[in-house]
């Protein structure tokens, strides 16, 4: 096995997993929703960008990417207000929210299939070619992907740590009643968190489209991976998700290089089970229960 | 300033408060006494918009606030300091205080208010960059009260400030609350132990199994 290949693959995958998993974790930490539509919303991002490029407006990759982000944010805000908020009034609403988001995932997937057909769509990479690192060829697009993913993660962290709105998200995730006491509009924070989460997962869907292509059911694999990462990192902890994303990405790279690609998910789940047996709240879990 | 007229509040199916009425005038210090589990916290949470009021009317500065949510009440100056403090544990003391000024009315004056809070509690200025999870019980209670003051309250509602504090710290906390009241702050205070209430108190209510009666502090002191 080639160490350089493993390092490159681990870094690339880790950066992208980070973006998807932090979105999932942000919503869980803030509004206690396990969003089963996270993967479908990842796919939705790819389709919206594809439509803006080839379906009509004919935008460039960069413009389509930038134009898709506010649309995704709006989707998140509307879903929170229209679909999740009414559930909150009832006991056991968290289980209902899982069912409702699972249903939403199927609605989005089938809607996309109805609109765009079952065939996969492609978005070409905006840079071609590759460079050689220690004898291994790496495509320039993968390098750009790493930088853009890290940029998204850094922007999210800065937003959470430095802005008034970001601090209100942190406040809600650390103490919901305390947040209400100081006058934070918690419903608005729930909407903001889901909006940001959909932006993150949808952005990942666009950025990965040149590598994996876009298909209506293509979101389940990234969702499953994000789910394992978030549980491994500790539910609700965005830092934990970040750490877990890279650990599991490097594990995946090693398993793919030594045993074979089919073994990466079993390896993840074995590691997850071991971690949860030793530390049930995950690496950096914040919830005691 | 605050007039509560025969309110009823339930926790799920459990009817906790029955026809509760009370009144707090501007500049007053009013205490509600009662044993644990008799509805003290429920009463304060309902008044501060954290629990719904089923029937009855609550008025604040002349307006009906019965149906308002906490975010609207904080903006009007009705501010709640919880018994279990409810700090943001993974944020610094400074961040916690600044979030106290989250409402638009207090936000523009936050620098001034922060100076006042630090003047009241120099200890918090020293520890402003400390995470709240690392504070002692006494310091955490200072942050809780300081965060309440950062909201620029017209009426400060304080739930059992003595909870979990050593007797000397409780006495200090009570002295601070008295000082705030002398400086003109209207205060509604809930306490389990009547003996802890010191200084000038305008009126006392007693809550027993969700029913409130007006009581006499000196008589209560003897009962305890």
Contact check, Cβ <8 Å, A164/B102: yes
Q: Is the dihedral of CA B128, B115, B88, A245 positive or negative?
A: negative
Interchain contact B88–A (C-beta under 8 A): yes
Contact check, Cβ <8 Å, A175/B151: no
Interchain contact A82–B (C-beta under 8 A): no
Most B CBs within 10 A among A90, A178, A181, hence the mutation to make, goes to A181
**Token representation of residue A232:** 């491994």
Asked, for residue B215, whether it belongs to a domain, the answer is yes
Contact check, Cβ <8 Å, A183/B90: no
Q: Which residue of A has its CA nearest to B89?
A: A174
Asked, for residue B101, whether it belongs to a domain, the answer is yes
Interchain contact B75–A (C-beta under 8 A): yes
Q: How far is B110 from chain A (nearest CA, A)?
A: 13
B188 vs A103: CA distance, rounded Å: 48
Which whole number is the average pLDDT over B58-63?
94
Interchain contact A120–B (C-beta under 8 A): no
Domain ranges of chain A: 22-217
Asked, for residue B5, whether it belongs to a domain, the answer is no
With 50 as the cut, is the pLDDT of residue B57 above it? yes
Interchain contact A180–B (C-beta under 8 A): yes
User: CATH code at B117?
Assistant: 3.40.50.300
- For chain B, what is the domain count? 1
Query: Which of helix, strand or coil describes residue B27?
Result: coil
Q: Which residue of A has its CA nearest to B80?
A: A181
Interchain contact B110–A (C-beta under 8 A): no
Give me chain B's average pLDDT, please: 89
Cβ-contact B194, B220 below 8 angstroms: yes
Q: What angle do CA B89, B93, B96 make, to 5 degrees?
A: 70
Where in the sequence is the domain holding B212, given as residue range(s)? 24-48+68-223
Asked, for residue B181, whether it belongs to a domain, the answer is yes
A138 vs A151: CA distance, rounded Å: 20
Interchain contact B89–A (C-beta under 8 A): yes
Could you read off the pLDDT tens digit of each residue along chain A, which spans 289 residues?
688 889 999 999 999 999 999 999 999 999 989 999 999 999 999 999 999 999 888 899 999 999 999 999 999 999 999 999 999 988 889 999 999 999 999 999 999 999 999 899 999 988 888 888 878 888 899 999 999 999 999 999 999 999 999 999 999 999 999 999 999 999 999 999 999 999 999 999 999 999 988 999 999 999 999 999 999 998 888 889 999 999 999 999 999 999 988 899 999 999 999 988 888 888 887 654 3
Asked, for residue B55, whether it belongs to a domain, the answer is no
Asked, for residue B149, whether it belongs to a domain, the answer is yes
Asked, for residue B83, whether it belongs to a domain, the answer is yes
Torsion of CA B6, B9, B13, B15, to 10 degrees: -50
Q: For this complex, say whether ipTM is above 0.85.
A: yes
With 80 as the cut, is the pLDDT of residue B223 above it? no
Confidence at B222, pLDDT banded by 50, 70, 90: very low
Interface of A with B in 192-231 (CB under 8 A): none
């Amino acid at each position: 096995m080639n160490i350089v290949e493993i390092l490159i693959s681990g870094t690339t995958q880790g950066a992208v997993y980070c973006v998807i998993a932090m979105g999932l974790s942000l919503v869980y930490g803030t509004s206690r929703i396990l969003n089963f539509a996270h993967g479908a919303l990842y796919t939705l991002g790819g389709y919206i960008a594809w439509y803006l490029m080839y379906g009509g407006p004919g935008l460039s990759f960069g413009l389509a990417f930038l134009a898709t982000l506010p649309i995704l944010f709006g989707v998140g805000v509307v879903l929170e207000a229209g679909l999740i908020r009414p559930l909150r009034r009832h006991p056991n609403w968290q289980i209902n929210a899982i069912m409702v988001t699972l249903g939403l995932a199927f609605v989005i997937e089938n809607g996309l299939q109805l609109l765009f057909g079952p065939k996969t769509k492609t978005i070409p990479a905006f840079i071609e070619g590759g460079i050689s690192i220690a004898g291994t060829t790496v495509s320039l697009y993968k390098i750009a992907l790493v930088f853009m993913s890290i940029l998204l993660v850094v922007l999210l962290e800065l937003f959470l740590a430095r802005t008034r709105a970001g601090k209100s998200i942190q406040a809600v995730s650390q103490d919901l009643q305390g947040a209400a006491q100081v006058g934070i509009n918690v419903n608005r924070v729930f909407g903001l968190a889901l909006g940001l989460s959909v932006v993150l997962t949808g952005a990942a869907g666009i950025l990965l489209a040149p590598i994996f292509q876009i298909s209506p059911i293509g979101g389940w694999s990234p969702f499953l991976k994000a789910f394992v990462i978030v549980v491994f990192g500790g539910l609700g902890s965005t830092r934990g998700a970040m750490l877990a994303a890279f650990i599991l990405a490097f594990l995946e790279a090693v398993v793919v290089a030594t045993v074979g690609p089919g073994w990466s998910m079993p390896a993840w789940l074995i590691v997850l089970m071991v971690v949860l047996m030793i530390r049930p709240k995950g690496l950096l879990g914040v919830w005691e229960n | 300033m605050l007039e509560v007229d025969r309110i009823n509040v339930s926790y799920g199916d459990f009817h906790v408060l029955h026809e509760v009425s009370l009144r707090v005038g501007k500049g007053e210090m009013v205490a509600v006494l009662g044993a644990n589990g008799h509805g003290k916290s429920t009463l304060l949470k309902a008044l501060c918009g954290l629990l719904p009021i089923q029937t009855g009317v609550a008025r604040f500065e002349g307006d009906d606030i019965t149906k308002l949510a906490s975010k609207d009440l904080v903006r009007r100056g009705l501010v709640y300091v919880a018994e279990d403090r409810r700090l943001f544990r993974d944020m610094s003391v400074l961040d916690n205080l600044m979030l106290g000024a989250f409402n638009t009315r207090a936000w523009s004056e936050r620098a001034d208010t922060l100076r006042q809070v630090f003047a009241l509690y120099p200890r918090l200025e020293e520890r402003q960059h400390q995470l709240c999870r690392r504070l002692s019980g006494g310091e955490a209670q200072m942050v809780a009260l300081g965060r309440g003051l950062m909201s620029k309250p017209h009426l400060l509602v304080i739930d059992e400030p003595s909870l979990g504090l050593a007797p000397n710290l409780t006495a200090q906390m009570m002295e601070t609350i008295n000082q705030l009241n002398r400086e003109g702050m209207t205060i509604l205070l809930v306490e389990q132990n009547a003996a802890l209430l010191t200084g000038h108190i305008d009126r006392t209510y007693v809550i027993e199994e969700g029913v409130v009666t007006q009581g006499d502090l000196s008589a209560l002191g003897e009962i305890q």
